[in-house]
C-alpha cells in the first residue's frame, strides 16, 4: 500500500499536503519575539533594521520585547564586558524554550578590536549557545536580516521529536559566570579550582640558601 495521498483534480488548487513538523516550524519561524541586548555601536544598526525602510515586521518580529519572559530570541551586540556577561546569561535563563541567540557584530562574536582589554569577553559564545554569528563592525541591517533568515531556516528544519524542549527531562540552565577578582569563573569549575589552590597551599616551600651580604 502506498503512503502517498492522491488529491482529486478539482481540489489541487485548494489543497496542499505537508508534514506536521514542517507546518509547526512554518508557524514558529514567523512568530519570533526578539529581545535586543545592545551595549555598544551595533545597537543603532538594530534600530535601523527595525525601522520602516527594512521592516522586519514582514517576518512577524517588528516589536522588540523588553522582558526575557516574553522573548524567544536574544540579539547580543556590542562589547561584552566581564561585569555584563553574568547579566546576559541570567536574562537568557529567564527566556522560555525554545530560544535562540544571535551574536551581532565583531565584539559579540569574538571580542572585536577590544578583545585584548582586561575586562572584555572574547565572544558571548563562551557562555551562551550561539545559533547565528553576524560579522561586521558594525554589521549592516541587511546582515542582521540575513541572520534572522538563518534562524528561520534552522527552526523550519527542526524535528519536533528531537528538540530538547519536548523531552521529559528538565533542561539545565546555562551556568552564570562568577566575577572572582580580575576574571570570570565558570561555576562548574569551582571544585577543580579549589582543589588546585589547596594543592598549592600544601606543597612545601622550597628552601633557598640565604645570600650573604656583600660589603661594598
H/E element holding 179? strand 178-180
Q: What is the pLDDT of residue 1?
A: 47
**Radius of gyration in angstroms for the set of CA atoms belonging to the chain, rounded to a whole number:** 25
Q: What is the pLDDT of residue 142?
A: 92
pTM above 0.95, yes or no: no
Q: What is the per-residue pLDDT across 143-182, written as a single tens digit (0 to 9) for each?
A: 999 999 999 999 888 877 777 766 677 777 887 887 766 6
Going from N- to C-terminal start, the domains of the chain cover 14-176
**Cα gap 213→211, rounded to integer Å:** 6
Q: What is the per-residue pLDDT across 48-95, written as a single tens digit (0 to 9) for each?
A: 888 888 888 888 777 778 889 989 899 999 899 888 889 999 999 999
CATH number assigned to the domain with residue range 14-176, chosen from the 4 options 2.60.40.10, 3.40.50.12280, 3.90.1300.10, 3.20.20.140: 3.40.50.12280
Q: What is the pLDDT of residue 205?
A: 57
**Cα gap 185→110, rounded to integer Å:** 19
Q: What is the per-residue pLDDT across 98-153, written as a single tens digit (0 to 9) for each?
A: 899 999 999 999 888 888 888 888 889 989 999 999 998 889 989 999 999 999 99
Cα distances (Å, whole numbers) of residue 2 to 5, 6, 15, 16, 176: 8, 10, 19, 18, 52
Amino acid at each position: 500500500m502506498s503512503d502517498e495521498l492522491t488529491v482529486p483534480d478539482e481540489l489541487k488548487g485548494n489543497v496542499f499536503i505537508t508534514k506536521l513538523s514542517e507546518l509547526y516550524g512554518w508557524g514558529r519561524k514567523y512568530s519570533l519575539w526578539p529581545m535586543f541586548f545592545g551595549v555598544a555601536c551595533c545597537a543603532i544598526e538594530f534600530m535601523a533594521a527595525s525601522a520602516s525602510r527594512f521592516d522586519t515586521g514582514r517576518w512577524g518580529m517588528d516589536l522588540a520585547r523588553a522582558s526575557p519572559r516574553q522573548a524567544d530570541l536574544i540579539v547580543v551586540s556590542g562589547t561584552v564586558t566581564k561585569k555584563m556577561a553574568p547579566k546576559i546569561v541570567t536574562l537568557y535563563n529567564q527566556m522560555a524554550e525554545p530560544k535562540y541567540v544571535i551574536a551581532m557584530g565583531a565584539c559579540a562574536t569574538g571580542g572585536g578590536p577590544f578583545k585584548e582589554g582586561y575586562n572584555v569577553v572574547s565572544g558571548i559564545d563562551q557562555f551562551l549557545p550561539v545559533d547565528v554569528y553576524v560579522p561586521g563592525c558594525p554589521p549592516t541591517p541587511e546582515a542582521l536580516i540575513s541572520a534572522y533568515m538563518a534562524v528561520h531556516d534552522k527552526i523550519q528544519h527542526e524535528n519536533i521529536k528531537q528538540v530538547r524542549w519536548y523531552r521529559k527531562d528538565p533542561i539545565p540552565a546555562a551556568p552564570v559566570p562568577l566575577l572572582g577578582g580580575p576574571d570570570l569563573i565558570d561555576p562548574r569549575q569551582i571544585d577543580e579550582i579549589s582543589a588546585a589552590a589547596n594543592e598549592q597551599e600544601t606543597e612545601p616551600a622550597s628552601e633557598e640558601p640565604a645570600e650573604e651580604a656583600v660589603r661594598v
